[in-house]
């Protein structure tokens, strides 16, 4: 290697060099990540800074890319199921559901009534556990250490309950084509009722402890406002979109499973919602999920957890199907194409975090570096889901 080439390597890489020089020369290129604690995993952001203000921000992805879509083409339909728990480790059951739902739609498989209710219960519990991790980690980013201890304490109960039925604590692979793998136990039903009761007293405590805290409010209010035009241009969904005042929730807009049988509200923020609105939406969503869980538990119908007509050996017809569910971060979509073979011909995974993060570049222009950390946290990023 010639000396000037070595120097080129030292002075940056493909991504920093591709950031074209800006209008002034008085700026600094800074790499935030891929090992920065507030980038939650391995997200890297190349920043151009003028003092402490961000002139340009460019996320660099792919550090935890595992080629899930290629794996879909070399595994059979059933063998691909465990992958779904690993795309988004925080809301694994929503990804389970999106994929299983797409296969069921493609093959015309019916789901047993009891399994539909169990899916709703477990997926909503998983949504709350995902919001717990977001809550604790977001406050860690903002400098508050204690809340994550409370969040993980409550989450531990939840994981114990989910472990009874799914057998695992994080990367669930519980849903099957036509139902779920195992029935709920009386212990699970009883424990979940008691846990819901406990949460009803914990959520007000969270509010008193954290949400009303003046330091949190100063770090979140009027930070990173997203208007409707921006949200739609980037295809933002989930709490990021609802924080801006749009009551768009796949559970209501494109009802799947038995969600149309439950009463629940869709919490929204105000037009031009800031980081605080997104925070409040997620906190309110936890309460709504509790409502859904309790309704579903009370009405849990008897019967088998697998539909009696569910195929023992899956034979997928030619064709394609798109199935979307509401994940903790927004709209999860699976586009499945089959050529009639034993493997999917093509699987496309729509990750909500991918679209939500894509608006960061525009949102971070002109803000303080410290506020960018607050914005990133308010988007609730799970990098394995974005990189897939």
Partner 1 sequence: MHFDWVDRLDAERKTDTDYGKTGSYREVFLRTDQLEAAAQSAWDEGYFLEDVSVVDVQEGFLVVYHFDSWERPGRVTFKVLVPHDNPRVPTISGIHSGAAWHERESFDFFGVIFEGHPDLKPLLLPEDLGFHPLVKKPEDRAPLQGLAAVAGDSKEAKEAKEAEAVKAP
116-119 contacts at long range (C-beta below 8 A, 24 or more positions apart)? 116/257, 116/258, 117/258, 117/296, 117/299, 117/300, 117/301, 118/165, 118/180, 118/183, 118/184, 118/300, 118/305, 119/93, 119/175, 119/180, 119/257
Which C-beta is closer to partner 1: that of 190 or that of 362? 362
CB-based burial of residue 257 (10 Å sphere; 0-12 exposed, 13-18 middle, 19+ buried)?
A: middle
Residue placing its CB nearer to partner 1 in the complex, 16 or 295: 16
SS3 129: helix
Q: How far is the CB of 125 from partner 1 (least distance, A)?
A: 26
Is there a contact between 173 and 96 (Cβ–Cβ < 8 Å)?
Answer: yes
| Cα 75 to Cα 249: distance, rounded to the nearest angstrom | 32
Query: At 59, is the secondary structure helix, strand, or coil?
Result: strand
Residue whose tokens read 């801006």: 244
Is residue 337 within 8 A of residue 345, CB to CB? The reply is yes
What phi and psi, each to the nearest 5 degrees, are found at residue 68? -60, -35
Stretch that binds partner 1, among 42-50, 82-90, 331-339, 363-371 (CB under 8 A): 331-339
Of the ranges 153-161, 163-171, 289-297, 342-350, which one interacts with partner 1 (CB under 8 A)? 342-350
CB 202 within 8 A of CB 154: yes
232 binds partner 1 (CB under 8 A): yes
335 sits near partner 1 (criterion: CB under 8 A): yes
Question: Which of 155/331 has CB closer to partner 1?
Answer: 331
Q: Smaller CB distance to partner 1: residue 14 or 145?
A: 14
Smallest distance from partner 1 to CB 195, Å: 33
Q: Which of 90, 161, 180, 246 binds partner 1 (CB under 8 A)?
A: 246
Q: Which of residues 61-90 bind partner 1 (CB under 8 A)?
A: 61-62, 65, 67, 69-70, 73
Residue pair 96/171 in contact by the 8 Å Cβ criterion: no
If the CB atoms of residues 89 and 135 are measured against partner 1, the closer one turns out to be: 89
Give the per-residue contact string, 257-296, with partner 1 (x = CB under 8 A; - = no). Answer: ----------------------------------------
Question: Candidates 76-84, 161-169, 285-293, 323-331 — which segment interacts with partner 1 by CB under 8 A?
Answer: 323-331
User: Tokens 């009463």 label which residue?
Assistant: 263
Positions touching partner 1 (CB under 8 A) are 14-15, 18, 61-62, 65, 67, 69-70, 73, 102, 105-106, 108, 230, 232-236, 241, 246, 248, 253-254, 318-324, 331, 333, 335, 337-339, 345-346, 348, 350, 354-355, 358-359, 362, 387-388
């Amino acid at each position: 290697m010639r000396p000037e080439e070595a120097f080129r390597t030292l002075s940056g890489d493909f991504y920093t060099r591709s950031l074209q020089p800006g209008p002034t020369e008085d700026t600094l290129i800074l790499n935030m990540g891929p090992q920065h604690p507030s980038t939650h995993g391995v997200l890297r952001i190349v920043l151009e800074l003028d003092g402490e203000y961000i002139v340009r921000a460019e996320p660099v992805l792919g550090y935890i890319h595992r080629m899930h879509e290629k794996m879909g083409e070399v595994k059979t339909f059933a063998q691909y199921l465990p992958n779904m728990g690993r795309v988004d480790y925080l809301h694994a059951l929503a990804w389970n559901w999106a994929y299983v739902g797409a296969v069921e739609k493609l093959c015309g498989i019916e789901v047993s009534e009891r399994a539909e209710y169990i899916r709703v219960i477990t997926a909503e519990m998983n949504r709350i556990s995902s919001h717990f991790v977001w809550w604790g980690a977001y406050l860690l980013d903002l400098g508050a250490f204690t809340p994550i201890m409370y969040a993980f304490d409550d989450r531990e109960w939840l994981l114990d309950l989910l472990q009874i039925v799914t057998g695992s604590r994080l990367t669930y692979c519980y849903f099957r084509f036509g139902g779920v793998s195992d029935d709920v136990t009386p212990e699970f039903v009883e424990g979940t009722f008691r846990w819901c009761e406990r949460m009803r007293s914990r959520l007000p405590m969270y509010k008193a402890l954290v949400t009303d805290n003046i330091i949190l409010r100063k770090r979140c209010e009027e930070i990173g406002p997203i208007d409707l035009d921006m949200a739609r241009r980037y295809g933002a969904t989930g709490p990021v979109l609802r924080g801006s005042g749009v009551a768009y929730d796949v559970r209501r807009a494109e009802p799947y499973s038995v969600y149309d049988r439950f009463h629940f509200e869709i919490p929204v923020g105000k037009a031009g919602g800031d980081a605080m609105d997104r925070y409040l939406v997620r906190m309110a969503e936890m309460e709504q999920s509790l409502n859904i869980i309790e309704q579903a538990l009370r009405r849990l119908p008897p019967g088998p957890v697998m539909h009696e007509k569910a195929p023992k050996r899956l034979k997928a017809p030619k064709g394609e199907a798109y199935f979307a569910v509401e994940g903790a971060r927004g709209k999860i979509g699976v586009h499945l194409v089959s050529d009639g073979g034993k493997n999917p011909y093509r699987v496309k995974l729509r990750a909500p975090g991918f679209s939500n993060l894509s608006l960061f570049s525009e949102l971070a222009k002109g803000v303080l570096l410290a506020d960018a950390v607050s914005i990133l946290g308010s988007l609730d990023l799970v990098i394995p889901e974005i990189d897939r």
